[in-house]
A and B are shown apart, each in its own frame.
Chain A
Amino acid sequence: MDGVLSVLYQFGTNAAFLLLSAIGLIVILGMMNIINLAHGELMMIGAYVASSLYHSGVPFAACVVVSFFAVALVGVALERVLIRRFYGRELQALVVTWGVSLILAQGALLAFGPFLASIPIPFGSGTVGTFSFSWYWIALIVLALLLVAGLWFLYYRTAFGLRARATMQEREMAQALGVKTGRVYMLTFALGSGLAGLAGALMAPTTTIAPYMGQQYVAPAFITVVTGGSANVIAGALGSTGFLSLAETPFTIWFGTFIGIVAMLLASLVLIRLLPKGLSEWIQRRWLS
């Protein structure tokens, strides 16, 4: 019993880590086809905002919310000044966002030094028999699922979602139906950035808050997004985090974290080889049409 719980917990935390790492990227890459290499630095900014506020006495939950809006604003600025000049030019956008990532990380180092005060993990820990767990990670698992549900609602049940999906699929046709596609792109980039900031704030208590902290999330985030594919980003996000952590979890438990990550990478390689358009295309074909 304790063993089962422990495996489930490990699976849940692995999946939540991937989902939170990827969620901002999923929105930006999946909806706009912009390969945002500054994704990790947007998460870093979220963590910085959260840490600064937390240590000036703001409750942690409020820090997380403020991080979302603060980084969304950073996203608006980036989109208006830089990103919008590179729509439809994926490689150039990639180089530009890489440049942004270097500037942000180095800028943080210059402005705030090599470390920022860490945030203690909230809620403490619990035990069931011999199995012990962190309540905060349970909260992160729940929050990750709520965020995906929220995204689903936004994209499939609101006017913004209708505009965004139409813009993504046939931009010119959306324009010809009166959709202000430039605005849709700006808001989408802001949303993706805000979600990266939110995730960075949520992850902040679990890690060292430093200028290059974003790096650790970028690779898992890209693997998650590529494995998920863009046919249906919500189904892709859930499918690929489930699949990848299913591959990772047993190896982590038997052989440790490093081998777990290797297993996850191998699993994603095999999956992309078999389903080049990602899991979501397959899910859509099988169950959603």
Chain B
Amino acid sequence: MNETVLSIAGLTAGYGSGDILQGASLEVRRGDVVGVLGRNGVGKTTLMRTVMGLTPSSAGSITHNGADVTGLDAEERAVRGFGYVPQGRMVFPHMSVEDNLRIGALERGRNWRRLEDMYQRFPRLRERRRQRAGTLSGGEQEMLVIARALVGDPDILLLDEPSEGVQPNIVKDIGALINELNQTGITVLLVEQNVELMQAAARVGYVMEKGRITQALSEADMHDGERLRHVLSL
């Protein structure tokens, strides 16, 4: 079995009163695509923000490649290889597409050649490299934030609902893209409520309900669309 890249145990976090995350635990192994399936409001985004270090945790631990990173802030986690693709995209709207990519590489070794790799993978971004990121379409912005995370050659990619607000045909493209990335060895943690994307991209998964991970989904479970849809209707 492959080594564990990311391990979360009993993670509790929230904003002010009431924890949104109530003791979530999961594991991601190297080279895997792990999906976390849950309805709106169960704490998926808080889970990702807490893993990234943007929302402070009040209990539990986050371990990356065997090292406890719970006490590190987001900057240090990013430098260690957490690549974050937030929900709602968060491009730098007044910066050019190219500058959005450059900032992704800046604190991760300044390997500017990887910009060229990204332009090869996403020719649309090359066409629009001088354009301000805020003027791109939703699908193009999604490509840009994924490319911005990839240009830093992340050790683990955290994808927070990439299907949100993009057209159905682009959701298919995102699924294919995740598979392609996984072929090159990238480890992915994906949270979603889109069953099609989950099935297309994730090999194994978890179910999240009310701030907790309630079941693990095996490879066989992931093929069972009925079961996944049932999870969402709970």
Chain A interface (Cβ < 8 Å from any Cβ of B):
159, 162-163, 165-166, 169-170, 172-181, 231-232, 284, 289
User: Chain B interface: which size bin?
Assistant: 20 to 34
Q: How far is the CB of A271 from chain B (nearest CB, A)?
A: 21
Using Cβ atoms and an 8 Å threshold, which residues of chain B touch A232?
A: 94
Q: What's the Cα separation between A232 and B132 when bound, in Å? A: 12
Question: Given A175-B75, A175-B78, A180-B75: A231 and B94 within 8 A (CB)?
Answer: yes
By the criterion CB–CB under 8 Å, are A177 and B99 in contact? no
- Structural contact, A162 and B148, CB atoms closer than 8 A: no
Closest to B99 in A: A162
Q: Which residue of A lies closest to B145 (CB)?
A: A173
* B93 CB-CB contact with A under 8 Å: yes
A-side contacts of B95, CB under 8 Å: 165-166, 169
| B59 interface hit (Cβ, 8 Å) | no
Question: What's the minimum C-beta distance from A261 to chain B, rounded to whole angstroms?
Answer: 32
User: How many whole Å from A165's CB to the nearest CB in chain B?
Assistant: 6
B130 to chain A: closest CB distance in Å? 10
Smallest CB–CB gap between B160 and chain A, Å? Answer: 11
Q: For B76, give the chain A residue with the smallest CB separation.
A: A178
Docked complex Cα distance between A232 and B53 (Å)? 30
- B73, A162: Cβ atoms closer than 8 Å: no
A176 in contact with B92 (CB, 8 Å): no
CB neighbours (8 Å) of A175 from chain B are 53-54, 73-75, 78
Given A169-B92, A169-B95, A173-B90: A163 in contact with B74 (beta carbons within 8 A): no
Residues of A near B82 (CB, < 8 A) are 176
Contacts of B78 in A (CB 8 A): 175-178
- Specify which chain A residues have a CB less than 8 angstroms from the CB of B84 in the assembled complex: 173, 176-177
Task: Decide if B132 touches A170 in the complex (CB within 8 Å).
Answer: no
Interface residues of B in 83-134 (CB under 8 A from A): 84, 86, 90-95, 99, 102-104, 106-108, 131-132
Is B38 engaged at the interface, CB distance under 8 Å to the other chain? no
Q: Which chain A residues border B75 with CB–CB below 8 Å? A: 175, 178-181
Is A289 within 8 A of B148, CB to CB?
no
Q: Is B135 an interface residue (CB 8 A)?
A: yes
- Asked if B9 is at the interface of the complex by the 8 Å CB criterion, the answer is no
Please state if A163 and B106 are interface contacts (CB–CB under 8 Å): yes
> Do B92 and A166 have beta carbons less than 8 Å apart?
yes
> A162-B102, A289-B131 in contact; A179/B107 too (CB < 8 A)?
yes
A221 to B6, CA, bound (A): 51
Report the Cα distance A161→B221, complex, angstroms: 48
17 contacts between A and B (CB under 8 A): A162-B102, A165-B94, A169-B93, A170-B92, A172-B54, A172-B90, A173-B92, A174-B103, A175-B54, A175-B73, A176-B53, A176-B74, A177-B152, A178-B108, A179-B107, A180-B75, A284-B94
1/0 per residue B52-75: CB within 8 Å of A?
111000000000000000000111
Task: For the complex formed, measure the closest distance between the CB of A227 and the CB atoms of chain B, giving whole angstroms.
Answer: 19
Q: Which of A165, A172, A231 sits near B74, CB closer than 8 Å?
A: A172
Residues of A within 8 A of B106 (CB): 159, 162-163, 177-179
Beta-carbon nearest neighbor of A289 in chain B: B132
Which B residue's beta carbon lies closest to that of A165? B95
- What is the distance, in angstroms, from A53's C-beta to the closest C-beta of chain B? 38
A162-B99, A232-B94 in contact; A177/B107 too (CB < 8 A)?
Answer: yes
Q: How far is the CB of B191 from chain A (nearest CB, A)?
A: 15
